[in-house]
Structure 1
Amino acid sequence: MTFFPYRNGRLHIEDVSLDELAARVGTPFFCYSAAAMESAYTSFVRALGDLPATVCYALKANSNQAVIRTFAQLGAGADVVSEGELRRALAAGVPASKVVFAGVGKQPSEMATALDAGILQFNVESLPELEALSRIAQEKGVRAPVALRINPDVDALTHAKISTGKAENKFGIDIPSLRGFLDSAAQLPGVRIEGLAVHIGSQITDVNPYRMAFERLVALFTELRDAGWPLERLDMGGGLGIAYEGDAAPDIARYAEIVRETTKGLDAKLIFEPGRFLTGNAGLLVTRTVYVKHGTARRFAIVDAAMNDLIRPTLYDAWHDILPVAQFAAGADREPYDIVGPICESSDIFAEQRELPPVAADDLLAICSSGAYGAVMSSSYNSRPPAPEILVRGNDYAVIRPRIDYDELIGQDRLPDWLDDGQQSSEPRGAA
């Protein structure tokens, strides 16, 4: 089933035309298909079958409240990496008992908030972090539930900037260091080591590296439980990718088979943390062509979206399919275009030499697979208000994050007393 069909010659998201949305909110804008997200979640849960699994949606992929609530209503927990994400998850209706707090740099105040909420577990990545967590928990008279994140030194065969499971990455506890780590952990009264965790990277489409990571994690789990550690849970992480450039999507059935084979007979609860897999292909960034510029060697389609809206092509040289909103014939002539934004950076490029049917000013284009790491990584660079977000279900839609106007954008700043000439109100000196 496609969630982005052409109907009557125009591209739709479910049953809503992108022309209608563009007329309603202006361009650029992000739009998400609720049905696509629900389908991805259902397919993931179905593949896991009868495994003792808790699926915790990774908020970093897309943290809009409506997106989180969509998954929460399906029974998902949340994988968070900041107090802000924790608060978002709780506000969207995710039970604290299904929240995993990951990340290498948790602040004491964040730990305190999570302890007060009563989350499922903290994924701890270093001894200083564990010591800080023990101290905060002691102050509150509780013991913090902890899973130690292991660095398995496994190459996930993904982009270097989103690889997390190799020895040179900043994440996790090296296996050779684990025994000494546990000796120190045993002396900390404010924590309880209840599990192990692993996460080897993001945008993984070849599931085979998971086997080695899971085998190493399970071997450690078994060894430590035999040694008397009260381990209950294995956090298998996330990282499953999507097909951006015609590549094969990850084989979810094979992934689940690897999980079954590596955890067979273990008697442990399992946690999974998908993010991009659930939202990436559910979203589009819709943009309008402003000008078509013919250079000496290239043809440029200058659009009103920019790298402040979708930074992945700039940051990762990422490929996103680009579709004209006006349907074109299968055999239509195509021309190479550089699809570029208006920001004053040479790197403000969505695609180079992309073959498209003829593009003219005012044409709408849809940048595909923008539901993950799109709006959530956006900014107001060049003082551009970030693109709004829309959620579609069937023939209904809602603006789930409106576009701020320029007064709101500028109004976020405050002038100090010595610059205030009365044209803008100022907070007291030293106020945040």
Structure 2
Amino acid sequence: MDHFLYKDGVLHAEDVPVSEIAAAVGTPFYAYSTATLLRHYALFDDALEGTDHLVCYAMKAAGNQAILRTLAQAGAGMDVVSVGEYLRARAAGVPGDRIVFSGVGKTADEMRTALEGGIRQFNVESEPELEALNDVALSLGQVAPITIRVNPDVDAKTHAKIATGKSENKFGIPIARARDVYAMAAAMKGIEIVGIDVHIGSQLTELAPFEQAYGKVAELTETLRADGHNIRRLDLGGGLGIPYARSNEAPPLPLEYGALIKRTLGHLGCEIEIEPGRLIAGNAGIMVSKVIYLKSGEGRDFLIVDGAMNDLIRPAMYDAYHDIVPVIEAEPGVDQHPYDIVGPVCESGDTFAKQRDLPPMTAGDLIAFRSAGAYGAVMASEYNARPLIPEVLVNGDQFAVIRPRPTFDEMINRDTIPEWL
């Protein structure tokens, strides 16, 4: 469920007409719904009711500080994968003891920043990283709390580019080597073992891979405890998918996911961490674009819009589907027409959809790309010297620009020209 609905024939973000936002900030732009963000966070929090738990929002999905503060004020922690995300979370008011640091390539400088600023735990991905973290912690006179990310070799049955739990993926250590690596960690004076970490991928649409992975984690927990390790926290990652197409069968609900966690791991008495990102932010955001031209081709019509692959790269990168709807609702009974919906970037890959049925469109009409809140604005670029587009947060009948569109001068003046030129 989201809060982008038609009212009196106009698409609204909560109680604000999307056309009103377009008139104020121009197109294209991203708009997020506060009510949807909070509702989706609460679904996960409620799903783990009765357990000691923390829902850490995976901020790589959508990292604007206004979004982070909205969720943090509701009780969320944060999962970060870079020092930039760490500092962004701290700037948004998230305390260090509610931030989990993931990622395969943490540098010593990143580790140092997080230790000095406060951190809940590092999710360690390799033996070399473990050694580097121990050195940094000892140099600061600190002890770094860690989980070790294990790779359970489970097929998440998702897109190859977002699968992370198979043996050929770069993430974590093979679960078969876990005992040796935990023994190595236990011998380090700058390291404190607090638990186990696992994350098998993103956009999972069934529970079976989770159940398989969590079963292996349960066995490993018992083994490591028998070895003398104080395993008291299980970081289970994220990955629960969302329905991008309204016609698709819906992925499992957070309540079902929570029941699975309790069934497979509840007997261990561990604190549970989960790191949802897409399901919290995905349907909480839309990208709005304007039709520039209607172009007739050989056997097909093109809608050329002012949004492009640099603004929303998921279709070009993943062949991802986004539901696309007109901002002004069509009259009942109006015949649909198939369009190729494309942007102005000089690549054939700048295509959002092919032969997508829409009511008849013309230049100046507004369209909305649904389910664009996750991996939309955060993956945007200035390719073709196109400025990053604004982000807008809606709260009831109010909206605010939470990242303005830079001017061309601001974008161009970030370059510096050497003296010899």
Q: Is the 2:151–2:173 Cα contact (8 Å) retained in structure 1?
A: yes
Write the mapping of 1:155-166 to structure 2, written as runs, cut at 5 A: 155-166=155-166
Counterparts of 1:90 and 1:50 in 2: how far apart (Å)? Answer: 29
Q: Residues of 2 paired with 1:107 and 1:331: CA distance?
A: 59
User: What corresponds to 2:404 in structure 1?
Assistant: 402
Q: Distance in 1 between matches of 2:94 and 2:264?
A: 29
Deviations 1:224-283 (A, max 9, x none): 012101221100111111100232132222211110111132111110101011010011
* Whole-Å separation in 1 of the counterparts to 2:287 and 2:195: 39
Distance across 2 between alignment mates of 1:287 and 1:323? 11
Q: Hey, what does 2:142 align to over in structure 1?
A: 142
User: What is the CA–CA distance in structure 1 between the aligned matches of 2:28 and 2:118, rounded to whole Å?
Assistant: 40
Letter in 2 for 1:315: M
Deviation at 1:41, TM superposition (A): 0.8
Is 1:176 the counterpart of 2:176? The answer is yes
1:99-118 superposed matches below 5 A: 99-118=99-118
Q: Distance in 1 between matches of 2:178 and 2:267?
A: 24
Paired letter, 1:4: F
Matched letter for residue 41 of structure 1: Y
For 1:111 and 1:199, locate their aligned partners in 2 and report how far apart those are by CA, in whole Å.
21
Q: Provide Cα deviations, 1:33-69, integer angstroms capped at 9, x if missing partner.
A: 0001111111111111111111111110000000000
Shift of 1:180: 2.7
1:186-205 to 2 correspondences below 5 Å: 186-205=186-205
**SS of equivalent to 1:302:** strand
Aligned to 2:327, which of 303, 325, 328?
Answer: 325
Q: Which residue of 2 aligns with 1:43?
A: 43
In 2, distance between residues paired with 1:136 and 1:44?
A: 35
| 2: CA distance, partners of 1:179 / 1:76 | 31
- Paired amino acid for 2:365: D
Letter in 2 for 1:162: I
CA contact (8 A) 1:55 1:77 kept: yes
CA contact (8 A) 1:195 1:234 kept: yes
TM-score scaled by length of structure 1:
0.95
Would you say the 8 A contact 1:207–1:251 is kept in 2? Answer: no
Q: How does 1:212-223 map to 2 (within 5 A)?
A: 212-223=212-223
- Shifted more, 144-153 versus 87-96: the winner is 87-96
Q: Give the conservation status (yes or no) of the 8 Å contact 1:196–1:233.
A: yes
Q: Which amino acid aligns with 1:351?
A: A
Say yes or no: does 1:228 pair with 2:228: yes
Distance in 2 of aligned mates of 1:43 and 1:231: 27
In 2, Cα distance between equivalents of 1:305 and 1:267: 49
**Fraction of identical pairs, as percent:** 54
State the partner residue of 1:307. Answer: 309
Which residue of the partner structure matches residue 273 of structure 1? Answer: 275
**TM-score between both structures, scaled by the size of structure 2:** 0.98
Q: Contact (CA 8 Å) 1:111, 1:136: kept in 2 or not?
A: yes
Moved more, 244-253 or 155-164: 244-253
Q: What CA distance in whole angstroms lies between the structure 1 residues aligned with 2:89 and 2:81? A: 11
Contact 2:179 2:224 in 1 (8 A): no
Quick check: 1:209 aligned with 2:209? yes
Bigger mean CA offset, 92-101 vs 380-389: 92-101
Task: After superposing the two structures, state which structure 1 stretch, 169-178 or 400-409, moved more.
Answer: 169-178
Does the residue aligned with 1:109 lie in a helix, a strand or coil? helix
Alpha-carbon deviations, 1:277-297, whole Å to 9, x = none?
Answer: 101001110000000000012
Aligned counterparts of 2:207 and 2:187: Cα–Cα separation in 1? 38
Distance 1:95 1:217 in 2: 28
Q: RMSD across aligned C-alpha pairs, in angstroms?
A: 1.0
Q: Does the CA contact (< 8 Å) of 1:61 and 1:276 recur in 2? A: yes
The answer to whether the aligner puts 1:347 opposite 2:349 as a matched pair is yes
Judge which range, 245-254 or 224-233, deviates more: 245-254
Q: Deviations over 1:125-156 (max 9, x none)?
A: 10000000000000011110010001011111
| Distance in 1 of aligned mates of 2:219 and 2:272 | 15
Q: What is the Cα deviation at residue 186 of structure 1?
A: 3.3
Q: Is 1:356 paired with 2:358?
A: yes
Q: Deviations over 1:150-180 (max 9, x none)?
A: 1011111110100000111000110122233
Residue 103 of structure 1 aligns with an amino acid whose one-letter code is: G
| Per-residue deviation, 1:184 | 2.6
Deviates more, 1:8-17 or 1:340-349: 8-17
Structure 2 counterpart of 1:428: none
Q: Which moved more, 1:51-60 or 1:244-253?
A: 244-253
Q: Which residue of 2 aligns with 1:393?
A: 395
Residue number in structure 1 paired with 2:4: 4
Alignment gaps of 5+ in structure 1: 420-432
* Equivalent runs, 1:228-267 vs 2, <5 Å: 228-245=228-245, 246-247=247-248, 248-267=250-269
Give, in angstroms, the shift of residue 90 of structure 1: 1.0
Unmatched runs of 5 consecutive residues or more in structure 2: none
The correspondence for 1:382, drawn from 384, 387, 396, is 384
8 Å contact kept, 2:155–2:165? yes
**Where does residue 125 of structure 1 map in the other structure?**
125
- Matched-pair contact (CA < 8 Å) for 2:36–2:283: yes
Aligned-partner Cα distance in 2 for 1:127–1:154? 21
CA distance in 1, matches of 2:71, 2:256: 23
Partner AA of 1:68 in structure 2: L
Measured after TM superposition, the shift of residue 330 of structure 1 is 4.2
